[in-house]
């Protein structure tokens, strides 16, 4: 009999008493403990103090704890979006062959996953217009960090400056992660000014010199505005032999200017805007770049090849860039990545198709505009703050303290960002129309 609900031990270890006895005999041991070669001085003879539970009790425990989360309608975005994920994505990605397989080190029995990742890479190639996309990084912030180390490796001239937008147009978390990634290099991260929710192009021009190795900008910006100076930034980077790294995501990329067309050398961002629910910030690092940098790309790449019968087959390739072969000279330390999330993103994108993807982005423009107009009508609210085009979200100025308004809204069931003493930010992605209506009413009630 094995360890089932009623017996102590791991419920997932299938040993019968009989089996265990036979196995111990085979290895010439009386007890399993004999097999542990641990000196007494470092033996652990205490307990963790963690109670075992049945499956059902464990599910109830987690349900009960998570039940403490408030059920709010989230008008939250700022780089992380809660689009509806079709049921198809869950059902297909949850097939255990996808979920429970390892990295495709034996491609002959992993063709299905390799093909799915190859298709994911192809999706990013189309979205960015760049020739190469890897099959995932952790998230947007770490992908940005990897972009900087790539810039450090590939740039012809010397240099040390990495230019990023100042705080109002760059999440602090991304900057902080970037700082950690470049801490072991000579790179230094510096801010450049912004103006009315876009890059301050003139100021950026003044800031750029030959010591710049990378310029980073986002489209749309974290404040929801669409960046209007991309091509100019691309030219500026080009003129100074710096890499232009653009932050975006698959929904935005479906509609907005194609990165390759504005001179982007690297595109990073969170691809899991498609495929994952909000998941408290779990993401999928998008990473695409020019073919020139192929051998310096971080992360895994799936390539097409042929098998012994000359049929097309897929495999991880260019692994000599990776840590398990190149060790301290690898292009990155990444090993486990976000492959399964990439699968989900690929399925979600395929379920939308190009029409659905463009339409989803278009709706993000239209619905944000509609909501902005609606809340702008409320006395004590002005929206949008920036006189620009917006995707999905926008900043609104409120006469009363923003923090108090947000707290009031939360009591009424809505979560919004506070982005300034008198600024809140509102995102429509994934929020049904009727909830937006309810929100506008709630806001009206709050500022009254």
Partner 1 sequence: QYEPLLSEKDLTRVDIGDGGDGIAPDDAESVDSPLPDDLTRDSLELPELSEPELARHYTRLSQMIYGIDSGPYPLGSCTMKYNPKFTEDVAALPPASVHPDRSERSVQGTLEVMYRLQDYLGRIGGMDAVTLQPPAGAAGEFVGIRVAAAYHEHNGEGHRDEVIIPESAHGTNFASAALGGYDVVSLPSDEDGRVDLEALESALSENTAALMLTNPNTLGLFERDIDEIAEMVHDVGGLLYYDGANLNALLGRARPGDMGFDVMHYNVHKTFATPHGGGGPGAGPVGVVDELAPFLPAPRVREGDQRTKSGEPTYELFEPEHTIGKVHGFHGNWLVLVKAFAYIARLGDEGLADASAKAVLNANYLASRLEYDVPYEPFHHEFVASAGDQDAADVAKRMLDYGVHPPTTKWPEIVPEALMTEPTEVESKDTLDRLAAAFNAVAAEDSETLANAPERTTARRIDQTSAARNPRLSWQALEEDES
Contacts of 260 (CB under 8 A, 6+ apart): 128, 129, 130
Q: Which is nearer to partner 1, 252 or 375 (CB)?
A: 252
User: Binding to partner 1 (CB under 8 A): which residues in 121-140?
Assistant: 121-123, 125-127, 131-133, 135-136, 138-140
Which of partner 1, its own copies, none sits in contact with 84, Cβ below 5 to 8 A by type? its own copies
For residue 199 the two structure tokens come to 């890059």
State yes or no: residue 332 binds partner 1 (CB under 8 A): yes
Rounded Cα distance between 388 and 194, Å, is 14
64 in contact with its own copies (CB under 8 A): no
30 binds partner 1 (CB under 8 A): no
307 binds partner 1 (CB under 8 A): yes
Angle at 405 between CA 400 and CA 410, to 5 degrees: 180
Is 423 a binder of partner 1 (CB under 8 A)? Answer: no
- Contact between 105 and its own copies per CB under 8 A: no
Q: Which of 53, 95, 324, 403 binds its own copies (CB under 8 A)?
A: 95
Spatial distance between the Cα atoms of 281 and 339, rounded to a whole number of angstroms? 17
Answer yes or no: are the C-beta atoms of 215 and 163 closer than 8 Å: yes
Cβ–Cβ under 8 Å, residues 35 and 27: yes
> Which segments of 377-432 does DSSP mark as H helices, in order?
402-411
CA dist 151 and 243 (Å) reads 6
Nearer to its own copies, 59 or 295 (CB): 59
Q: Return the number of the residue (4 or 158) whose C-beta is nearest its own copies.
A: 4
Q: Does 281 bind its own copies (CB under 8 A)?
A: no
53 vs 403 by CB, closer to its own copies:
53
Calpha distance 296→300 (Å, rounded)? 11
Which residue carries 């009031």 as its tokens? 408
Record the tokens describing residue 170, joined without a space: 């760059």
Using the rule CB under 8 A, is 290 a contact of partner 1? no
Q: Which residues contact 196 (CB under 8 A, 6 or more apart)?
A: 386, 387, 388
232 is a site residue for partner 1 (CB under 8 A): no
Maximum CA pair distance of the chain? 83
Q: Which of 148, 150, 151, 174 binds partner 1 (CB under 8 A)?
A: 174
Position among 83, 148, 149, 163 found at the interface with partner 1 (CB under 8 A):
149
Q: Which of partner 1, its own copies, none is residue 441 near (CB under 5 to 8 Å by kind)? A: none
**Which residues inside 373-432 make contact with its own copies, applying CB under 8 A?**
432
The residues binding its own copies (CB under 8 A) are 1-2, 4-6, 55-57, 59-60, 84, 86-87, 91, 94-96, 352-353, 355-356, 359, 432
């Amino acid at each position: 009999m094995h360890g089932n609900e009623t017996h102590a031990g791991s419920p997932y270890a299938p040993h019968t008493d009989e089996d265990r006895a036979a196995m111990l005999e085979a290895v010439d041991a009386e007890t399993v403990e004999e097999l542990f070669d641990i000196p007494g001085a470092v033996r652990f003879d205490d307990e963790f103090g963690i109670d075992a539970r049945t499956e059902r009790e464990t599910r109830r425990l987690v349900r009960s704890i998570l039940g403490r989360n408030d059920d709010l309608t989230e008008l939250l975005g700022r780089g992380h979006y809660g689009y509806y994920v079709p049921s198809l994505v869950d059902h297909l990605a949850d097939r255990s062959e996808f979920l429970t397989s390892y990295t495709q080190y034996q491609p002959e029995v992993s063709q299905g996953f390799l093909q799915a990742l190859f298709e994911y890479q192809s999706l990013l190639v189309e979205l960015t217009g760049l020739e190469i996309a890897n099959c995932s990084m952790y998230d947007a912030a770490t992908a940005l960090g990897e972009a900087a180390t790539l810039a450090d490796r590939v740039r012809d001239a010397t240099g040390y400056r990495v230019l990023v937008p100042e705080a109002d147009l760059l999440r602090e978390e991304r900057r902080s992660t970037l700082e950690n990634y470049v801490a072991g290099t000579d790179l230094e991260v510096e801010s450049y000014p912004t103006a009315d929710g876009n890059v301050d192009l003139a100021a950026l021009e003044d800031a750029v010199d030959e010591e710049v190795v990378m310029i980073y900008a986002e489209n749309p910006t974290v404040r929801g505005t669409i960046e209007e100076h991309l091509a100019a930034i691309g030219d500026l980077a080009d003129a100074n032999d710096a890499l232009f790294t653009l932050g975006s995501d698959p929904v935005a990329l479906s509609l907005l200017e194609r990165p390759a067309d504005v001179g982007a050398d690297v595109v990073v961002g969170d691809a899991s805007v498609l495929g994952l629910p909000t998941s408290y910030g779990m993401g999928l690092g998008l990473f695409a770049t020019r073919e020139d940098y192929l051998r310096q790309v971080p992360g895994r790449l799936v390539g097409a090849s042929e098998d012994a019968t000359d049929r097309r087959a897929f495999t991880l390739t260019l692994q000599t860039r990776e840590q398990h072969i190149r060790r301290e000279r690898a292009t990155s330390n990444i090993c486990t990545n976000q492959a399964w999330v990439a699968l989900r993103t690929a399925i979600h994108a395929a379920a939308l198709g190009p029409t659905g993807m463009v339409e989803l982005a278009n709706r993000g423009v239209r619905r944000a505009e509609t909501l902005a107009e609606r809340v702008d009508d409320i006395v004590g609210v002005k929206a949008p703050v920036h006189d620009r085009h917006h995707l999905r979200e926008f900043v609104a100025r409120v006469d009363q303290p923003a923090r108090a308004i947000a707290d009031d809204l939360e009591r009424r069931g809505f979560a919004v960002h506070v982005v300034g003493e008198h600024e809140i930010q509102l995102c429509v992605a994934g929020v049904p129309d009727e909830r937006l209506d309810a929100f506008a009413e709630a806001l009206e009630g709050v500022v009254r």
